[in-house]
DNA sequence: CCGCATCCAGGAGGATACTG
DNA sequence: CAGTATCCTCCTGGATGCGG
């Protein structure tokens, strides 16, 4: 595979007769940021913007990510034009990643979502526990 | 299965040695709104708020969704406290769904994301096509 | 009308090992 | 150090059919 990205279905144009909004931009965006590591990667890159972060440094700052997923995620971001990739062709190669303007602009609504999450997820957790307890007990 | 929700992994506590922050609120939120139908369902419900929408009506307004997924998605929303469920115990039962305050509050950052998507997804699409064309040709 | 149960395919993503 | 390839597992979610 040469052009596959993690969360994207590569939908061929005109396969359906009606437009189902699977093409709707929001769905496409969620297919991207909904993948497990994308939003966190964007966040870490955003923290260093306008600076850059090396591959290994990213790995360190995203606990639990594998090289494969970090690599795949970064490829998606670069391909989407959300991140930049700069290779230093030294003997042990050093690759630096950064956010583009586009990527940085995505960080804003993403931060709003994060903010909502931090404010309200505890309540959602409590709601779930309440739902658990009321049928069981 | 009794308590499964679409996008949630229901991670048993202590199955891993050291949990990474899969527990971080943003991840949990994205696990929810990242599921295929959640955001659209919230959107449709939000459009009718403070009114309610019946099950069949929701199905009609979310093209392509199956009853199973609509049912599952709604259960998640209700369980999370984002939506309400009201049953009219008539002979053919009628079930009405609505958004809670919490659900409505989520709609705002979600709308911001939608706005970003509609503005910038075309650019992302172009970036992808450019990436396709440059290695081929 | 509403929803659940079952079956099933496809894809995300983790572990590991190997290249430049 | 940075990345690729392979294998494998689990989960999402689509199709269908039954039950209240």
Domain boundaries, chain B: 25-132
- Structure token pair of residue B21: 């922050």
**pLDDT tens digits, residue range B42-61?**
999 999 999 999 999 999 99
Q: What is the torsional sign of CA A17, A22, A24, A29?
A: negative
Interatomic CA distance for residues A75 and A72, integer angstroms: 5
Q: How far is the CA of A48 from the C1' of D18 (A)?
A: 56
Largest pairwise CA distance in chain B? 64
8 Å CB contact of B79 and A127: yes
Q: In what order do the strands lie in the sheet with B53-54?
A: B53-54, B94-99, B83-88
Residues of A in contact with B124 (CB under 8 A): 28, 80-82, 102
Nearest nt to the CA of B66 via C1' is D14
Name the residue among B116, B34, B25 with its Cα closest to residue A103: B116
More confident residue, A132 or A102: A102
More confident residue, A56 or B92: A56
Q: CA–C1' distance A49–D4 (Å)? A: 28
Q: How far is the CA of B8 from the C1' of D2 (A)?
A: 33
Topology (CATH level 3) of domain B25-132: Arc Repressor Mutant, subunit A (1.10.10)
Name the pTM for this structure. Answer: 0.86
pLDDT of B51: 96
Higher pLDDT residue, A43 or B11?
A: A43
Which pLDDT score is estimated for A24? Answer: 87
Out of B81, B109, B114, closest to residue A123 by CB: B81
Element (H, E) at B75: helix B67-80
């Amino acid at each position: 595979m040469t052009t596959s990205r993690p969360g994207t279905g590569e939908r061929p144009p005109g396969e359906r007769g009606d437009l189902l909004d699977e093409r709707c931009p929001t769905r496409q965006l969620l297919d991207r940021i909904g993948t497990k590591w994308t939003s966190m990667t964007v966040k870490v890159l955003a923290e260093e913007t306008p600076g850059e972060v090396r591959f290994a440094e990213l790995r360190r700052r995203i606990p639990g990510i594998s090289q494969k997923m970090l690599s795949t995620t970064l490829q998606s971001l670069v391909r989407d034009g959300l991140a930049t990739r700069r290779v230093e062709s030294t003997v042990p190669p050093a690759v630096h990643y950064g956010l583009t303007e586009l990527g940085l602009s995505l960080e804003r609504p993403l931060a709003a979502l994060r903010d909502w999450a931090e404010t309200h997820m505890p309540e959602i957790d409590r709601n779930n526990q309440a739902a658990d307890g009321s049928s069981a007990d």
